[in-house]
Structure 1
Amino acid sequence: MTTLFDPELGPELRARAQRIRGFVLDVDGVLTDGAIVYDADAREIKSFHVWDGFAVKVLQKIGLEVAILSGRRSAVVAHRAAELGIREVLQGHLKKRPAFEELVQRSGLRAEEFCVIGDDLPDLALFELAGLAAAPGDAHPLVQQRAHYVARRGGGRGAVREVVELVLHAQGRFAELAALFA
């Protein structure tokens, strides 16, 4: 089966991915390409890739937790999260670690059962705690260096979908992607 990632996972990456029961996603540079665009009325505009939205819906259908944790506040993000049915939407957290720790406590999962996908320096504090730290292919170089997995795809261009497919493949659940919507 063709995948967005290299299906030949190393043993450490496979073991990390097999433990994942929840995802924490940054927004700017992960779910979007990082650009912040304003229209003539100073309303914020963001672009989201449908592949990433599909991946979120798949995670929800198979019972994995999904949360958004962003350093910025945005009505556009709140709208997209509501559209996707993401209940845990944590915005305006420049220091992300305390918010992540509270999320972990509320979830009933352990920090090492979360995959964190981040693209910039504020996400590194979460990388230290997460079981699987992933970055889009166009993330900051230091973030790529510290990530357990760097996606081939960029932020806002299917990177989240790629990481989700990798995790599902490692868990032997990749075939569920197509079957869920048949």
Structure 2
Amino acid sequence: MKLEVLEKDCYYHIYNRGINGSAIFENDANKTYFLKQLAKYSEDKISIFAYCLMNNHFHLVIRLNTEEKEVTQMFSNLFNSYAKAFNKQSNRTGSLFEKHFRRIKLKDENYLKQLIIYVHLNPKHHLNQDFQNFKYSSYQTYLSNKETKIEREEIINLFGNFDDFVFCHNQKNEFLNETYTFE
């Protein structure tokens, strides 16, 4: 599989999962630690627009603020530090993540908007959980006035305004409710 080249000032969907689909997060403390490590390693290298941490995979929507080599090294450091801590806690050895993190370059603003909604609705897709109250997604960050590293204002403006941001998420959620039956 040829990996997408990362380019400065471009937007990407970054995602990965546990090796063989296994869990990479066993509890809330794991997810909190991953987010802390992400903040630590990503400082000024990327802008984060959305995230969602599921039990066996994660999604990030980012923009590169620096060159590919720095960002690739940043992700390597993040994944290695998290995997070492997870393996120690879980008394396991070996790879935690699939070999290479996946990356898809976003072609336009519409794709960016749809991807942000998709990432935020991930708990609905996989767990039939209410995306609005899912603790390890950036959706609640958009609803909050708390200080954040998420590029909230830029994305709210992309959707037009806050009400349209919420409306688009709810509209897509209603579509999922009508289209899929979860058991």
Task: State the TM bucket, normalised to the shorter chain.
Answer: under 0.3
- Greater relative contact order (CA < 8 Å, ≥ 6 in sequence): 1
> Larger helix proportion, structure 1 or 2?
2
TM-score, length basis structure 1: 0.26
Structure 1 or 2, whichever has the larger Rg, is: 2
